[in-house]
Amino acid sequence: MKKRVVSVLLCAGLVIGAIAGCSGGKDAETEKTDSKSSEEGDYSGQTLTIAVEDGGEYALWYESIKSEFEEKTGAKVTLVGANDEAVLAECMAKSGYYDVLTMDGPMIPQYASLGYLMPLDDYIDQEEIDDFFDSTIESVSWNDSLYCMPYLVHGPVIYYRTDLFEAADFDHAPETVDEYFEMSKALTDESQGVYGTIIEGKQSSEPVSQLLDKLSQFGGELISSDDPSKIAFDSQETIDTFEYIMKFYDEGAVPEGCSSYDNGDVQNMFLQGQLAMACNWPYMWSMVNDEEYSKVVGKVGVAPQPGANAVWSWSFGISPDSKNKELAVEWCKWSTSSEIIERLSENFINPAVRESSAKNAVAAITDEEDAKVLEAMNKSLEQGVAPTLSTNFQELRTRVALTLNRIATKETTDISGEVKTCAEDLQKILDEVQ
């Protein structure tokens, strides 16, 4: 008898559960269809779904100010944390689930050529475009069409510990690559658990970005900027770069396990006060000053990297399958408007992508320390080199990551041989798309 009661309850539970379970999905569905019935200009009732980087700092910031856009347009905005796989899968399915995509610069050529992004040329006024720095617009264009609106273009800068520099009688941040090495070596003090810097060597994409910075400092490049169908990796400059990096490894200017480190490890160690210098992204500045995460609040200065660095863009693009294209265009315009970019720049103390915003931000920042930092970051943008991209840049990057890791782990000590093989492979990969 008891058993029967239990089984009846179980069945009832299952049914109720099933109904509740379905309804969640359905709600989302109905919301989407509702959005079709709206008039131009007024977007009330529409829902804009934006794919953002899961847990990304800028995504959180846009989340915090999206209500302003909602008030302005009457639409509802949802920022959905999405990994690359999810975005790609939706694009392949042409589902239009995401109206707006957050694009990491190197992905734009690929997405654009596959038709996963809508060209924006007809939607954005030339006047607007002129306010952006040329290099930033270049970084979001492909085959002479504009595909995204950039909200951030940045390159890694040097964070350095002012207290350690003072103690070592260094009166300026490193200005040449040799100085960077000498200082790293001099500041390494293993007994205190402090290392000069880190040059990441993990087989993953972030360390490749750092490698490309160093490569640009030595005057080398990955894809030739003169002829985008040629790999320029097999060069003396590349070999010099790797030899330079290995000097840090061999002479103990970096911690021992650093061939397995990624961007996150660098940040952790720097925030813990275990590094004297770190090349890292502009957004780390806000982490440095957050007492919850950082032990080095007030002891950090920022300088541009010696001579050159690569720059990368982050931007918003629109899915051609979006059912709310006009609203999506509104979002792209609003989120990269002069005012919003200025606020972003001031909030993160990051370089601004628009001339007007950059001017206003510099004027608005009163704190002397912050002003200096922003100046350094803007410098990194000025000296920045936008790497030549290709539609399969990710694959190229994956291949370079392998070579970097092989050299960093001393799997091979024949640098010129490794670079040559790598360049041959890269050329093959590049040829596949021509």
Q: In the window 275-314, what residues touch other proteins (CB under 8 A)?
A: 281, 283, 292-295
Q: Which of 201, 306, 317, 387 binds other proteins (CB under 8 A)?
A: 201
Shortest reach from residue 281's CB to other proteins, in Å? 8
**Smaller CB separation from other proteins, 11 or 363:** 11
Residue 210 sits in the site that holds other proteins (CB under 8 A): no
Applying the rule CB under 8 A, the residues between 91 and 110 that interact with other proteins are: 92-95, 97, 110
228 or 257: whose CB is closer to other proteins? 257
Site residues for other proteins, 2-21, by CB under 8 A, read: 3, 10, 13-14, 17-18, 20-21
**Nearest approach, Cβ of 7 to other proteins (angstroms)?**
9
Site for other proteins contains 320 (CB under 8 A):
no
Which of residues 88 and 362 has its CB atom nearest to other proteins in the complex?
88
Choose, by CB under 8 A, the member of 83, 176, 229, 416 that binds other proteins: 83
* Nearest distance in Å: CB 127, other proteins: 35
Among 81, 96, 252, 320, binds other proteins (CB under 8 A): 81
Does 66 engage in binding with other proteins (CB under 8 A)? no
- The three state secondary structure string of the chain is CHHHHHHHHHHHHHHHHHHHHHHHHHHHHHHHHHCCCCCCCCCCCCEEEEEEECCCHHHHHHHHHHHHHHHHHCCEEEEEEECHHHHHHHHHHCCCCCCEEEEEHHHHHHHHHCCCCCCCCCCCCHHHHHHECHHHHHHCEECCEECEEEEEEECCEEEEEHHHHHHCCCCCCCCCHHHHHHHHHHHCEHHHCEECCCCCCCCCHHHHHHHHHHHHHCCCCCECCCCCCCECCCCHHHHHHHHHHHHHHHCCCCCHHHHHCCHHHHHHHHHCCCECEEEECCCHHHHHCCCCCCCCCCCEEEECCCCCEECEEEEEEECCCCCCHHHHHHHHHHHCCHHHHHHHHHHHCCCCCEHHHHHHHHHHCCCHHHHHHHHHHHHHHHCEECCCCCCCHHHHHHHHHHHHHHHHCCCCCCHHHHHHHHHHHHHHHHHCCC
Closer to other proteins by CB, 367 or 411: give it.
411
- The answer to whether residue 417 forms part of the interface with other proteins (CB under 8 A) is no
Does 114 help bind other proteins (rule: CB under 8 A)? Answer: yes
Residue 115 contacts other proteins per CB under 8 A: yes
